[in-house]
Structure 1
Amino acid sequence: MSNPVQPFDWERMFIHDFPWSYLGEVAFRTLFMFIILLTALTVSGKREVRQLSIYELVLLIGLGSAAGDPMFYHDVPLLSAVVVFIVMMSCYKLATYISDKNKTVRHVLEGEPVYVIENGCILTQNFKEEDLGQEELFSDLRMGGIEQLGQVRTAILEANGQLSIFQFSADDALPGLTTLPNELKKHTEQIQQPGDYACCTCGNVHKFNAPVQLFNCPKCSKTTWVKAVK
């Protein structure tokens, strides 16, 4: 039967029954996990990061774990958490310093702004490379007051995952693909009435002068269309 925990046992609180050299291992473990977290978040893409920088997110995850365990578990020494904090903050400072000084490193870890819409059409290749879903894109556009893609001159997915939207003036807006969910449900592959229709995949607007059973979009080769909105 183990001995009961003695409150305010300073040796147990700060180092427990580990040798002092164990703190060096804690520092190594922290550095290792910092690199793993940084790599994982870099690979996962900017949409997962959103408003925080990738470095800030790594720091929050690492420090949150380091701070939580010593609060609850009596066999987790406080000095281990202190070492974790010191190493994590040092790695954070070093990584941000290198990123600020080296453009290549900054682009690899943080990414670059990517154009996703130009002149009312989705740039499908960039769209795919960013692993960005159309529902996410349209949600951001709706939050920016965009009812249809013809209002958008340019949309840029920033390095922090936010979407920057530059609109045409009201007089210059083009017919475009609706961003409203209920309207998108009205898509079809059979054009029954002549008029302007928008491709449901890329937003390209095509004028149909007669009914058509099946028509491939000239830009993305898809066959699903919905009535364009002006």
Structure 2
Amino acid sequence: MEHLLGGAGEVGWIALKALLLYLSAVVGLRFGSRRTLADLSPFDFVAAVAVGAIVGRIPNAHDASYLTGVATLAAVLAGHWCVTRLHASPSVGHLLDPAPRLLVLDARVLERDLAQCGLTHADLYALLRRQGVEDLGEVRFAILEARGQLSVIRRTSGRGDMGNLIQPVAARQARVEPQP
């Protein structure tokens, strides 16, 4: 019966260790940027999974103390903090996130760019429908952003020229000449 239920003292220590690690993780995450919780990048996702694994694994590990768990949490959160700071750096940040990619230009799907993003027409159409697009003819620009969201500029926007938020993306893909 002891193998099924464990010792009462052991269960109490495991619960206490889990609670303390959870609180330590919450405190550590509160010192991070709000971006961590608001807009998960792949680096944020890895950090969140690692924190969850630490908080879930350490309490049950008989050979790992609370101090070991906190040290592991601190190392993961410090690594994440470093990546976040590098991400904010203009000289390094562009290496960590892919550039936004123009996928639709004047209701025409840019096949090469769609393929380079690893998307199919079905993927693109599903993303467009989520944006409320009923017909491809409505779309002036569709841009796959660095975080994987699709930004859609409709033809009804009233602009005749390419806006300053769209022009750099199109220029990077050699679709237009940069405007001064």
TM-score by length of 2: 0.63
Report the residue type matching 1:93 in the other structure: W
Residue 81 (structure 1) aligned with residue 83 (structure 2): no
Residue 54 (structure 1) aligned with residue 56 (structure 2): no
Residue 7 (structure 1) aligned with residue 9 (structure 2): yes
Separation in structure 2 between the aligned mates of residue 168 and residue 63 of structure 1, nearest angstrom: 44
**Among candidates 147, 154, 158, match of residue 134 of structure 2:** 147
Equivalent residues in 2 for 1:72-151, closer than 5 Å = 72-103=60-91, 105-151=92-138
Report the residue type matching 1:136 in the other structure: D
Report the residue type matching 1:64 in the other structure: G
Retained in 2: the 8 A contact 1:115–1:126? yes
Report the residue type matching 2:52 in the other structure: G
Quickly say closer, same or farther: Cα 1:153–1:146, change in 2 above 3 A: same
Q: Indicate the RMSD between aligned Cα atoms, in angstroms.
A: 2.8
Displacement of 1:5: 6.3
Structure whose residues are more often helix by fraction: 2
Aligned-residue identity in percent: 27
Q: Deviations over 1:123-179 (max 9, x none)?
A: 1111111111222211111121212211100000001100000001299xxxxxxxx
Retained in 2: the 8 A contact 1:113–1:159? yes
Q: Deviations over 1:87-144 (max 9, x none)?
A: 11111111111221134x3222211111010000111111111111222211111121
Displacement of 1:78: 2.0
Unaligned runs of 5+ in 1: 15-50, 172-230
Aligned residues: 130
Separation in structure 1 between the aligned mates of residue 106 and residue 157 of structure 2, nearest angstrom: 14
Separation in structure 2 between the aligned mates of residue 121 and residue 91 of structure 1, nearest angstrom: 42
* 2:23 equivalent in structure 1: none
TM-score by length of 1: 0.50
Quickly say closer, same or farther: Cα 1:143–1:6, change in 2 above 3 A: closer
Separation in structure 1 between the aligned mates of residue 142 and residue 126 of structure 2, nearest angstrom: 13
**Among candidates 158, 164, 169, match of residue 156 of structure 2:** 169
**Larger radius of gyration, structure 1 or 2?**
1
Unaligned runs of 5+ in 2: 1-5, 18-38, 159-180
Retained in 2: the 8 A contact 1:54–1:110? no
Quickly say closer, same or farther: Cα 1:96–1:170, change in 2 above 3 A: closer
